[in-house]
Amino acid sequence: MTVLDHRAVTHPTVRWLGVPHLLAGTAEGPVGRDRHRELHGPLTLPTRAELRRDVARARLRGRGGAAFPVYRKLDSLPDHGAHAVVVNGSESEPASHKDRVLMRLAPHLVVDGALGVAHALGAARVVVAVHDVEAGHAMARAVAGRPDAAHVEVVAAEGGFVAGEARALLNGLSGVAPLPDGRRTLPTTRGLDARPTFVSNAETFAQLGLLVTDGLDRMLATGTAEEPGTTLVTLLGSVDHPGVVEVPHGIALADLLGHERTPVLVGGYHGSWVAGAGDAVLDRDALATAGTPWGAGVLARLGPDTCALGEVQRVVAWLAARSAGQCGPCVFGLPAVADAVADVVRGGGPTAVTRVRTLVGLVDGRGACAHPDGTSRFVGSALRTLSGEVEVHAAHGGCGRPVLGQLPLDGGAR
Amino acid sequence: MSSRLQVDWTRCDAHGLCARLLPDQVTLDPWGFPVLDGAPLPDARVRDARRAAQACPALALRLSRT
């Protein structure tokens, strides 16, 4: 049982490298309505053509994990626009905290983005779906204090990993089970209330908020030509400053993680393991090409004092238990993968590794959503990156280090 | 135009009929769920594939034309 004590409300600590855009003014705590206007200027509601032009020139991509270009999402909506605009603030990736922190500290930026898109698309409904309680309160307070946002609905999103997937979220909001559909229909065709919907992640809307207040030129002045502007990162594990940090695109990952060669996870629990930050830079295309997609912006480093394979096993067991229970290969395959990884940790060596690889190959791509695919990527890359650890475990039945639990599993804390 | 088999994983209950009816195209994983090779169906097999899709007790097997 969880006992809720009466704690003083504390605000998350955030940092930035360079000049903060999204997190401007948050050093003093949450940015209220008047301060928000001082910092970013008035909201200019764009036409669809204006919005399309600016997001294309800003090369803005979705910040929920798939990095889909926003102008293409706009283009795939019907000529008459969208029925609804949905801010996906569920942030069900447990390693990620950037969206809830953003909504707690700069909720008006998210509201501005949602209002801008809703105006451009003529959307009748604007829904902000949030799972984190504090972030939900912050969004509700922001909306309640704005006459221009009277029609914006702030709703509690279901918990659970898969429930945060865009189509699952839309099903939940439309009054049916919060599960992904068996047929892969896009929300731009069939979304909220089974009608065309523009849905994106909370940070995406905050970036859109910058475009409709600060304007395009300010975004173009930061980052790289390929990817202007900044992005939010959740830093975890054995790093100097764990937490959420805003950085310009193009910085070296080593600037965030340090240069030590201990295992690094890029992208989150559907992401990939690499031996260290190396010379990689924050460039979504380059990272995807290198087989380490940026995902939801999570970077984690394991310290030298924890059992790396044990940390991996802990997350895999957790992921296996997060199946929505719809698709057989996920329901049966992921627990089998988790068991096989446990064998590797106990020193099963090459035989156990082969079994993991076979099982991972069996679940990859065989589900209604990307949960089995992402879990496969996490496990496959871990075994490649930690091959030395696998040998040590095989030789000695373990590595002698405890599993410290450096990767969070409940989405709470911090 | 080529035809491919697809499974709606939210419907499939591992009856295994598809693997019986289309042994060259469908095998079963350790839990009884179909493994498809993903390749376009040979023309000569399209009729059987359509029948297999119609026979699926869970209506999970589909034939898609691209």
Show which of residues 22-61 on chain B sit within 8 Å of chain A, judged by CB atoms.
Answer: 29-33, 35, 60
- The reply to whether ipTM tops 0.85 is yes
A406 belongs to a structural domain: no
Question: Would you place residue B65 in the very low, low, confident or very high pLDDT band (cuts 50, 70, 90)?
Answer: confident
Q: Which of A122, A132, A280, A278 is nearest to A202 (CA)?
A: A132
- CATH code of the domain in which A359 resides: 1.20.1440.230
- The predicted pLDDT at position A10 comes to 56
CA distances from A104 to A23, A101, A148, B52 (A): 11, 5, 20, 53
pLDDT in tens, B6-44: 999 999 999 999 999 999 999 999 999 999 988 899 999
Size of interface A-B (CB pairs under 8 A): 43
Indicate the number of domains in chain B. 1
- CATH label of the domain that carries residue B27: 3.30.70.20
Of A241, A266, A301, the residue at which a domain comes to its end is A301
Nearest to A374 by CA among A305, A306, A323, A303: A323
Range of the domain at A173: 14-220
CB contact under 8 A, B13 and A333: no
How near does any CA of chain B get to the CA of A192, in Å?
Answer: 20
Residue A325 CB-half CA count within 13 A: 4
What is the per-residue pLDDT across A111-124, written as a single tens digit (0 to 9) for each? 999 999 999 999 99
The model's pLDDT over A142-181, given as tens digits with 9 standing for 90+, comes to 999 999 999 999 998 876 667 778 888 888 888 877 887 7
> Mutate which of B6, B8, B9 to disrupt the A interface (most A C-beta within 10 Å)?
B9
Specify whether A159 is located in the same domain as A262: no
Domain match, A59 and A204 both: yes
A51 & A105 share domain: yes
pLDDT-flagged residues of chain A (< 50): 1-9, 411-414
Phi first, then psi, for residue A128 (nearest 5°) are -110, 115
**CATH number of the domain to which A297 belongs:** 3.10.20.600
A17 exposure class (CB count in 10 Å sphere: 0-12, 13-18, 19+): middle
Confidence at residue A5, expressed as pLDDT on a 0 to 100 scale: 41
Round to whole Å and give the CA distance between A190 and A107: 28
Q: Cα distance from A371 to chain B (closest Cα, Å)?
A: 13
Token reading at A299: 């970077």
Percent of chain A with pLDDT over 90: 77
Is the domain of A149 the same as that of A184? yes
- B9/A326 Cβ within 8 A: yes
Specify if A6 maps to a domain.
Answer: no
A326: closest chain B residue by CA: B10
Q: What is the 3-state secondary structure (H, E, C) of A183-211?
A: CCCCCCCCCHHHCCEEEEEHHHHHHHHHH
Instruction: Give me the number of domains chain A comprises.
Output: 3
- Residue numbers in A near B8 (CB within 8 A): 182-183, 368
Q: What are the chain A neighbours of B32 within 8 Å (beta carbons)?
A: 328
What percent of chain A stands above pLDDT 70?
Answer: 95
**Residue type at position B59:** L
Distance set, CA B38 to CA A24, A55, A359, A377, B50 (Å): 49, 36, 18, 20, 16
Residue A89, number of CB atoms within 10 A of its CB: 28
Chain A residues with CB within 8 Å of chain B CB: 179-183, 326-330, 332-333, 336, 362, 366-368
Question: How far is residue B2 from each of residues A6, A185, A365, B42, B66, measured CA to CA in Å?
Answer: 63, 21, 21, 8, 6
Predicted confidence (pLDDT) per residue in A301-339, tens digit: 999 999 999 999 999 999 999 888 889 999 999 999 999
Kindly compute the dihedral angle of the four CA atoms of residues A282, A284, A289, A290, in this order, to the nearest 10 degrees.
Answer: 30
In this structure, the answer to whether residues A281 and A316 fall within a common structural domain is: no
The pLDDT score that the predictor gives to residue A122 is 97
Could you say which of B9, B13, B60 has the minimum Cβ distance to residue A329? B9
Query: Are the C-beta atoms of residues A25 and A105 closer than 8 Å to each other?
Result: no
Paired tokens of A235: 């830093």
Residues of the domain holding B45: 3-65
Cβ–Cβ below 8 Å for B9 and A328:
yes
Q: Are A249 and A216 members of one domain?
A: no
Asked whether residue A141 falls in the same domain as residue A263, the answer is: no
**What is the predicted pLDDT for the residue at A11?**
62
Q: Which of A176, A180, A201, A163 is nearest to A85 (CA)?
A: A201
Residue A414 lies in a domain: no
